[in-house]
Amino acid sequence: MKKVGFLMLLIGGLAFAVESMSKEIYYAEIFDSQGNIHKVSDIIVRDPYNKTRGREGHSLYTKRGDSNQSIPFNKIKEINLVGELKDNYVPVIIRFTSGEEEKFLIYLRVSDKYYGKTTWGDSFSIEIEKAKKVIFKHDGRFKKCPLCNTLFYNTEMTECPFDGESLIYEGKLLKPARH
């Protein structure tokens, strides 16, 4: 009996560890300054602020007026570049999944980029100030893998690419962005 209890504890601990490492998978089309369109999955922004918040870069660090805020990808539908990089800030208009639109400055270190994978699995990256437009293929809802707990914001996906498990449709429309 003791052995079974220990095993249950072990499985519970393992499930917790997987949960706390859960990923978010996004899919987007990125338009570069040459007019090329890149279809990119598993898109992240590499940025020091996001890492400390445990989001693995699934958000933009922005400034509007005097306030700074981190805007998660799940609230963003489209990012449109509206000017040049200046003093580590890039001006953009963000259209939210709620339909609202607003102008922000994205804060960058010099090397910050969007990273992801192309449809044929190669790694892709582009400087944020060179991505003229980013269109996320989601509306804020997601599917979840019951095995590895990964969240998939492309709800057209049916099975988990990591373990082949069928995805569960959560159907939750996340709250509109507060800004």
State the Cα–Cα distance between residues 127 and 88, nearest whole angstrom: 12
* Residue closer to Zn ion (CB basis): 33 or 166: 166
Binding site residues, Zn ion, CB under 5 A: 145, 147-148, 160, 162-163, 165
Tokens describing residue 132: 């003229």
* Residue closer to Zn ion (CB basis): 6 or 16: 16
Tokens describing residue 46: 């590499």
Nearest approach, Cβ of 120 to Zn ion (angstroms)? 21
Nearest approach, Cβ of 19 to Zn ion (angstroms)? 12
CB 174 within 8 Å of CB 94: no
Nearest approach, Cβ of 149 to Zn ion (angstroms)? 7
State the Cα–Cα distance between residues 33 and 1, nearest whole angstrom: 65
* Residue closer to Zn ion (CB basis): 121 or 164: 164
CB atoms near residue 94 (< 10 Å): 23
* Residue closer to Zn ion (CB basis): 18 or 173: 18
